[in-house]
Amino acid sequence: MSLPSTLTTLFFFSFSFLLLLHANGGDSTSGMDAKELSALYEVLGALLDDPSWPQLHPHPCTDTPWPGVQCETLPQQQQQPDPFFHVTKLHVGPDLATPPCRPGAELSLSLLRLPFLKTLSIFGCFVGATVTLIPPPLFSSASSLEQLVLISNRGLSGPIPTTISLAGRLSVLRLSQNDLRGEIPRGVGELRELKQLDLSYNRLTGGIPEELGGLAGLGILDLSFNGLRGGIPRSLGRLCSLQKLDLGSNSLSGRIPEETGMLRKLVLLDLSRNSITGPVPEALSGLEELEYFLVENNPIGSGVPLFLGALGKLAVVGLSGCGLSGPIPSWFESLSNLTALALDRNRLSGSVPRSLDALGKLGQLNLSQNMLSGEIAFREDFVSRLGKRLDVRDNKGLCANSHLYFDTPPCGSSSLDATSSARTSTNSSSSAGAEPGAQQVSGRPPAEDNGQESLSSPLGSSLCWYLYLGIYAILVFL
């Protein structure tokens, strides 16, 4: 073979190789279907405060990416090879430096022309004009949406549309800290893939739909800080994957259903600040994984629930303001994982079990505003460790023969009033954090709040911190 013919052959081969590359590598201009690209521009144009976004990002899936847009190619179909990139995730929020949201940001109907969108997440964007989820029929059975996360949009108002039940692939539905109103649609119970349902911090009303009990894969159910009424549905006992159940700060009434004890994986149960009555069913002894039991500010009105003694993983128990009477059970000492115990603002009587000082992880103990009596005499290192997070104030019959208990009168010397006894002992105090002048305990300690949406409760900020950590741990875990 002559040299020229070899060259020709070589040329021919490399040319066909290039052709092949071109055919498989997709459209050489944007890498995207033109209709999908224009839909993306319209959606972001309605959200972002930068009309030049399309010019700055002519190839948002390839050469000129933007952190809020994610694209994927589809797995190759047999018949029709799909060379295009498709938008699968859109995220807009203050964590993306530029551009910010438009003052009148809204949801564009063009979202429907992003047929491969799996995740839509919008944080702190709809703050000006009122936006609702109703006019854009965001949800259809064709929807590929798996995660809908709209958080901290105080302009996002109106109801949760009933059509949401059509978005059958949703696994994460988080609509927290908006201004949503109306009732929770029953159809949410048809979203069988749901793993997380968080509708907290809105203005939702009506009852908790019993249909939610059909969400067998649900790990997180957070409906806290709304205006929900009625009872806790028994059907929630069927949520066998549930790890976090937060119904706090609503107007729920009735008793805690026995079926709640079937939630074998539950780690956090928060029913605080409702109108739930007692007694708490002993069936809750089935909650073997429970670490957080928070029921404060409900008219429970029984004794301290006995089943708690069976739950060895308990870390935080909040039973403040529950109208509890009777003694503080001594079995609390067996809950060796306890870090915080709040029994304040009840009618507990009798003596304070000394054995509580055996709780090696306890960092907060609030027994204030009860009817406890007798001498309180914990081990000194326990009292020093807790410092002011040991609160036994406002128990008329309680006395202590140690200066370490703030505002507690000494036993057998009723002539000294509580405050002066605390003041005279300032010098000898060796307890951590008890500098002179820090003796007057005034209400709650300074907030350790970091600007997050407040989880504050009357338990004091340390307890909130444990709670916060716990919720964080659960979220990370999931």
Ligand X SMILES: *[C@@H]1O[C@H](CO)[C@@H](O)[C@H](O)[C@H]1NC(C)=O
**Cα-to-chain-centroid distance, residue 349:** 35
* Site for ligand X contains 444 (CB under 6 A): yes
H or E stretch covering 390: strand 390-391
Give min distance, CB of 380 to ligand X, in A: 18
CB of 318 to ligand X, least distance (A): 11
Q: Half-sphere exposure (CA, 13 Å, Cβ side) for 42?
A: 14
Task: Determine, following the binding rule CB under 6 A, whether residue 366 of this chain makes contact with ligand X.
Answer: yes
285: DSSP letter: G
Interacting residues of 379 by C-beta distance below 8 A, sequence separation 6+: 357
Cα 244 to Cα 412: distance, rounded to the nearest angstrom: 48
Q: Is 88 in the site for ligand X (CB under 6 A)?
A: no
88 or 297: whose CB is closer to ligand X? 297
Residue 349's φ and ψ, nearest 5 degrees, are -130, 180
Site string for ligand X, 286-325 (x = CB under 6 A): --------------------------xx------x-----
Measured from the Cβ of residue 267, the count of other Cβ atoms closer than 10 Å reads 22
Entry field: residues in the chain: 478
Using CB under 6 A, which of 75, 412, 437, 443 touches ligand X? 443
Total interface residues for ligand X by CB under 6 A: 18
Q: What angle do CA 254, 258, 260 make, to 5 degrees?
A: 95
- The two three-digit tokens of residue 277, written as one number: 């009555």
- Token representation of residue 422: 């605390």
Residue 458 beta carbon to ligand X: minimum distance, rounded to whole angstroms: 5
Name the residue nearer to ligand X (CB basis): 84 or 382: 382
**Minimal distance, residue 347 CB to ligand X, in Å:** 13
| Of the candidate residues 260, 369, 408, 429, the single one contacting ligand X (CB under 6 A) | 369
14: Cβ–Cβ under 8 A, 6 or more apart, which residues?
Answer: none
Does residue 337 bind ligand X (CB under 6 A)?
yes
> Residue 367 and residue 348: Cα distance in Å, rounded?
9
Nearest-approach distance from CB 395 to ligand X, in angstroms:
11
Q: For residue 437, state whether it binds ligand X (rule: CB under 6 A).
A: no
Q: Classify 374 in phi/psi space as left (phi over 0), alpha (psi -120 to 50) or beta.
A: left
Using CB under 6 A, which of the segments 159-167, 173-181, 217-225, 383-391 binds ligand X?
A: 383-391
Q: Does 270 bind ligand X (CB under 6 A)?
A: no
Stretch that binds ligand X, among 90-98, 164-172, 233-241, 388-396 (CB under 6 A): 388-396
Please pick, from the candidates 344, 408, 422, 466, the single residue that binds ligand X as defined by CB under 6 A.
344
Q: Quick one: 33 or 344, whose CB is closer to ligand X?
A: 344
Beta strands at 196-198 and 229-230: parallel, antiparallel or unpaired = unpaired
Does 391 bind ligand X (CB under 6 A)? Our answer is: yes
Among 427, 430, 450, 452, binds ligand X (CB under 6 A): 427
Q: Report angle CA 397, 403, 408 to the nearest 5 degrees.
A: 20
385 in contact with ligand X (CB under 6 A): no
Cβ proximity to ligand X: between 62 and 337 the closer is 337
Which strand ranges, in their side-by-side order, compose the sheet holding 229-230? 229-230, 251-255, 275-277
Confirm or reject binding of residue 254 to ligand X (CB under 6 A).
no
Residues of this chain that bind ligand X (CB under 6 A): 312-313, 320, 336-337, 344-345, 366, 368-369, 388-389, 391, 427, 443-444, 458, 460
